[in-house]
Structure 1
Amino acid sequence: MRRVLFNADHDAFRSAVRTFVDRELQPRQEQFIRERSIDRSVWLSAGAQGLLGLLVPAQYGGAGAGDYRFSVVWSEELARLSVAFASSFTIHSEVVAPYLVELGTAEQRERWLPRFCAGELRTAIAMTEPSAGSDLAALRSTAVRDGSDWVLSGSKTFITNGFGADLVVVAARTGPEKRAKGITLFAVEAGMPGFERGRKLEKVGQPEADTAELFFDRVRLPAENVIGEVGRGFVHMMERLPQERIGAAVTNVAHAAQILAETVAYTKERRAFGQPVGSFQYNKFRLAELVTSVEVTQAFVDRCVAAHAAGELTAVDAAKAKWWSAQVQNEVIDACVQLHGGYGYMSEYRVARAWQDARVTKIWAGSNEIMKELIGRDLGL
């Protein structure tokens, strides 16, 4: 199905990104899986090619593209190799970037963004806590004023890039108000006394993306490390979650489409009872259903991307795209495992890894149940 979202400039950029993925990531994927992290040299290479600052103004070393569709191309090409690569790099380039660019002071932007774009300063965002997953308003980490400084205490978990990040945007409660009020964002830098990382968490899938627990034991933060306005951290997060969710939808569909394409090719080659397994009526009909499902989902996600690029994407439509694409992704890849038969359950087959990698997409960036709750509220229910 021909997509109308992109122009010749996006196509040329896609070719460059694909070259980067094929040269820097694909040959070393097994190494990164074993090490459960992406080597810093690859981050530096991505930075040198201008891939990490697509949303950052040129004056700070970014591409200054001003067109979210370039970020979509970057995300899609990463996801076609591994959704873990997409999650790790785009947490940095698409999720953290808006906090630093849009909320950062001139001094903060000068201090962090050039190294951010170069791949020298890897970043993460720490919202989730052990006692509060999707309920961001219930976080318990606290930051208390001490003179002109803040003293941060608490912990976070399931933090992508958390083990290797040089800077982490952390949400903490700074006021006595309950729920959404009284939350502030802080930039915590590697090496600050009291900032410790737990082990790399062993996940069911996506081993290439390091994920960690973070601990803050009276970490002293200067006022210059506050991101945005004091007490408005929850609002800042809510304003930027739609981009995170449409970004998740983009990678979900790209990942599913790639594995499905490989499965179609497999069913043409694999034979049983003297004919290709894809030629059996049930399998043929199932593949027809899967292809249609992916293409229909792609059309809706592309429409949401176009809306976001124009500054018109609503939080509700982002929620629709996130939950539906995650659902389709998991259903499609599960069917692909079935079509591979016993081989689909073998870890050396990409479809098996993809199946493991995809499961979390129904949980992160707000669980699918939370997305449905947001949609339901918009219906007045």
Structure 2
Amino acid sequence: MYEPDMQLAASAVETAKKIVASAIVEMKNSGIDANQVVAYDLAHAASGVEAAKAMITYGANGAIEARLACAFIAEVAGDLVSRAFGRESLWGINENQLETLHDFVRRFRDPNYVSSLANQMGPTHLDVDFELVRDTFRKFAQDQIAPLADEIHRKNLDVPESIISGLGEMGAFGLSIPEEYGGFSTGNENDYLAMVIATEELSRCSLASGGSLITRPEILARALLRGGTQAQKEYWLPKLASGEIMAAVAVTEPDYGSDVAGLTTSAVRTEGGWLLNGVKTWCTFGARADVLMVLARTDPDRSKAHRGLSLFIVPKPHGDSGGFLFEQASADGAPAKMEGRPIDTIGYRGMHSYEIAIENWFVANENLVGEDSGLGRGFYYQMEGFENGRIQTAARAVGIMQAAYESAVVYAQNRKVFGAPIIDYQLSQYKLGKMAAIIQASRQLAYQVCILMAKGEGALEASMVKAYVCRAAEWVTREAMQIHGGMGYAEEFPVSRLFLDARVLSIFEGADETLSLKVIARKLIDSIS
């Protein structure tokens, strides 16, 4: 079996980077819309290479780290070659460039090599303070969330108030809110890293009742920090940080998913504020939330697209998860109501998503983010939160993968087939070894993106980590489920829940196709302009 070779690994990553660079140039010349299949593959290949770069750094830390790094980089290189093979002219490369990766892939994608990593996850290399963050949130998740997670999923229950209050007492909702507003953010890379670590640990036990729950204030808080008035920040941020107020995002509409610029929900001026009319969909946590962050059109000129959108903080009562109808007194006696219809989903249960119809709902002008200076700026304010949300989504995916991997290892060690434990078979070992490499690479890439975002950079990399890691989570959870055999399809084993939860990650907060074509591919092209 081959010994890890980080110098050869670094050379392979450089070659992969050159192949991606050639493809970006070709894509710029040919156009994304005319070549969407190649553009999509390029976005994912580039995202994989970004993760491979993070593993070069990780692999320098020790022997097991180097072994995992070589296995992962070989996987990325092999994937890159398969995407470009037979399409060399569309990628703007020649066959010799692909051939240069052959020897490295042959060595470190070798079944025996990868199989040797079956139970070798490797250390995370966090410092003592972050180990404490991890241990704190892991203990809370295991003690408070894990015992309830499967029942919440099977019975489609609400997230228990005990979990919400417990996380509020820990300060979990204030991780991204500055200290001056009652949170714990200090304005450096530690803030992002702490959020990612906490999100991963909570997601190991439950996506909806853990990892996603603490991201509830994130998008609204970021929007307020970007464009809110001082009075708005002082009023809303402490309440979000403590968990006194829980927020939900109402941006997507039935006919406009990721195409935010086409939104039709309107906000029309009236005495003292605005009247909102329209329908929002996929409003997660919409019933339990105390406020909705609503993106609405304040300029009726549709040609202005996203430049005519503004952001509102809309207070509301708690609603029943089975559906709700709220009425509001209006000055002229016209009907004013907000009605929520639950959307049943196969996974991601506990939060509940809703289609919310809003009719003549009054919102005070002081609840327009930025007030008059925020008119037409809503799209940019909410995107501030969405970009940060992508790194958190990647952390959620890592948590789900870690839980699936751990479950698969335990099951493989204890389940005997044809006279031997499943883990003794090469195919099982290969799957587990590949999982270990993918999970650690995903985690390390998330850490690297945290460092970039703390510097005010990393918007492209945040999109890349979301694209790569969420797709990886689908494969990891599927194979973990497969290792469980028939029991993987049974609800009594959590791995079936993990598989269903993983599926949503490539859909929400930017569907994978839109993220790849409209964000990653375009930004890659812009990077060489």
1:289 aligns with 2:434: yes
1:120 aligns with 2:244: yes
1:159 aligns with 2:283: yes
Per the alignment, residue 359 of structure 1 pairs with: 503
Per the alignment, residue 199 of structure 1 pairs with: 341
Match of 1:305 among 450, 460, 468: 450
The residue type paired with residue 160 of structure 1 is T
Per the alignment, residue 70 of structure 1 pairs with: 194
Question: How far 1:275 moved relative to its partner?
Answer: 0.6
Structure 2 CA distance for partners of 1:56 and 1:259, relative to 1, 3 Å? same
Question: How far 1:245 moved relative to its partner?
Answer: 0.9
1:368 aligns with 2:492: no
Structure 2 length-normalised TM: 0.68
Per the alignment, residue 331 of structure 1 pairs with: 475
Per the alignment, residue 2 of structure 1 pairs with: 123
- 1:54–1:65 contact (8 Å) kept in structure 2: no
1:349 aligns with 2:493: yes
Structure 2: runs of 5 or more not aligned: 1-121, 318-326, 329-335
Question: How far 1:35 moved relative to its partner?
Answer: 5.3
Question: How far 1:223 moved relative to its partner?
Answer: 0.9
Runs of 4+ in 1 over 6 A off after TM superposition: none
Higher alpha-carbon Rg: 2
Per the alignment, residue 403 of structure 2 pairs with: 258
Question: How far 1:65 moved relative to its partner?
Answer: 4.0
- Partner secondary structure for residue 216 of structure 2: helix
The residue type paired with residue 160 of structure 2 is D
Q: Which has the higher contact order (CA 8 A, sep 6+)?
A: 2
Cα RMSD after superposing both structures? 1.9
Question: How far 1:183 moved relative to its partner?
Answer: 0.3
Per the alignment, residue 33 of structure 2 pairs with: none
Structure 1 length-normalised TM: 0.93
- 1:91–1:160 contact (8 Å) kept in structure 2: no
After the TM superposition, which of the residue ranges 356-365 and 208-217 deviates more from structure 2?
Answer: 208-217
After the TM superposition, which of the residue ranges 251-260 and 282-291 deviates more from structure 2?
Answer: 282-291
Per the alignment, residue 221 of structure 1 pairs with: 363
1:180 aligns with 2:301: no
- 1:91–1:124 contact (8 Å) kept in structure 2: no
The CA distance in 1 between the partners of 2:339 and 2:139, in whole Å, is: 34
Structure 1: runs of 5 or more not aligned: none
1:306-344: per-residue Cα shift (whole Å, max 9, x none)?
Answer: 212332212x22221111111100011111111111000
1:273-332: per-residue Cα shift (whole Å, max 9, x none)?
Answer: 111111112222222222222222322222112212332212x22221111111100011
- Partner secondary structure for residue 306 of structure 2: coil
Structure 2 CA distance for partners of 1:195 and 1:187, relative to 1, 3 Å? farther
- 2:221–2:385 contact (8 Å) kept in structure 1: no
The CA distance in 2 between the partners of 1:85 and 1:48, in whole Å, is: 16
1:170 aligns with 2:294: yes
The CA distance in 2 between the partners of 1:36 and 1:378, in whole Å, is: 40
Aligned residues: 379
The CA distance in 1 between the partners of 2:494 and 2:147, in whole Å, is: 14
Question: How far 1:18 moved relative to its partner?
Answer: 2.0
More helix by proportion, 1 or 2?
2
Identity %: 31
